[in-house]
Amino acid sequence: MRENILRLLMELFAIIGEAHPEKALARRKMEEEFLRQTLSLEKAMEFLALYDPFVLGYHTTESALEDRQTRAAEICAELNRTLTQKQKTVVLVRLIQYLFIDPKPATEEAAFLQVIQRALRIEDGEFQLLLQLITDIDQFRGAGALIVGGDQEVPPEGVKSLKRKELKGRLHFAFVQSADFYFLRYIGNEDLELSGIPIKSHEVYIFSPGATVRGPLINPVYFSDVVDRFLDKELKESITYRVEDITCHFSSGKQGLHPLSFVEKSGSLVGIMGGSGAGKSTLLNVLNGSASPSAGSVKINGLNLHTQASELEGVVGFVSQSDLLMEDLTVFQNLYFSATVLGGTQG
């Protein structure tokens, strides 16, 4: 985040917190952790030095509640113009955590949340979902709620669920649709990791694309597993990708691919590993339809990728590991060449 935004956040956190000594100490520690995650140690200490004067200014003088709420709304209005929806959602989560260091914050503290929610334009349902995730996990409900539990876990009625055998406790995922963003909170005593980082019970984490939750006794929970549970199954046609006994021989007669068969369905993530020259590129070219196998077939929902390509147009995408640009051409010339190859005309 830019420095001017961090200054505004320091002031906002200072405004909404009550000056109770025990709370103030715990909240200052939370601010320090937030800054350390965002900045270098030197910069974190620099911005933390701004936080203390803000706290003193707003809580050791007769600063009226209405004035503080007005200033909080002004700061949020500025954040609203600057931050993306994802960033605003993260700010809201941090503010809720900040206030609810005490399970029962002061009435005037809790009132600030409504001011901030309106100013940041966070939808009511999403606000309540995040509030439940952080402050009242037993009431975690709604269209954006997902619970991952062991075989014996029975999720609340109407809540999306996933099963992971031998999982002790529950993983709670909150999906904020307006930001296309996920948060995770684990309640339990198992040694779990989020993309290699130990998960602390009761802490809230961002669950980003590509993230994975792993444990010594459970099957991993992949980002794609979570996303799949929030997709509308009635609107989504399942895709079956079937490879049957494909082989490939080069024009020299050398065998490029030995017989290979497998079946995968929507939501799967498959890795292809091998040394240089093992045939990875050849296999990918056959699987994406740009090269034909010498024998066998590749079918998507029963349609042959190589003999019925027109019926599968737009279904398969391929991103090369190279830029596929000609270094002796300019950017415009590269684009013009590609457009010409694809049948475009100069306009």
249 and 213, same structural domain? no
**Band (155; pLDDT cuts 50, 70, 90):** confident
**CA–CA dist 74, 113 (Å, integer):** 14
**CA–CA dist 145, 129 (Å, integer):** 7
Q: How far apart are the first and last CA of the chain?
A: 41
**CA–CA dist 210, 230 (Å, integer):** 16
Lowest mean per-residue pLDDT among 156-165, 239-248, 276-285, 325-334: 325-334
198 and 149, same structural domain? yes
Domain residue limits at 15: 3-122
Residue 65 has pLDDT above 80, yes or no: no
pTM for this prediction: 0.66
215 and 266, same structural domain? no
Q: Is residue 335 part of a domain?
A: yes
pLDDT tens figures, 130-151 = 999 999 998 998 889 999 998 7
**Band (181; pLDDT cuts 50, 70, 90):** very high
Residue range 68-75: mean pLDDT, rounded: 86
pLDDT of residue 237: 66
**Band (234; pLDDT cuts 50, 70, 90):** very low
User: pLDDT > 90: what percent of the chain?
Assistant: 35
Quote the number of domains for the chain. 3
Q: Can you point out the beta strands (E) in 51-191? A: 145-149, 160-163, 170-176, 181-187
Residue range 225-253: mean pLDDT, rounded: 82
Q: Is residue 128 part of a domain?
A: no
Of the residues 199, 230, 261, the one at which a domain ends: 230
303 and 281, same structural domain? yes
**CA–CA dist 263, 43 (Å, integer):** 51
30 and 115, same structural domain? yes
95 contacts 117 by C-beta, under 8 angstroms? no
98 and 190, same structural domain? no
Q: Which residues, including other chains, have CB under 8 Å from residue 174's CB and lie 6 or more apart?
A: 129, 130, 133, 140, 144, 145, 146, 182, 183, 184, 185
pLDDT of residue 206: 92
Q: Is residue 146 part of a domain?
A: yes
**CA–CA dist 243, 187 (Å, integer):** 41
pLDDT tens figures, 92-111 = 898 888 888 766 666 666 67
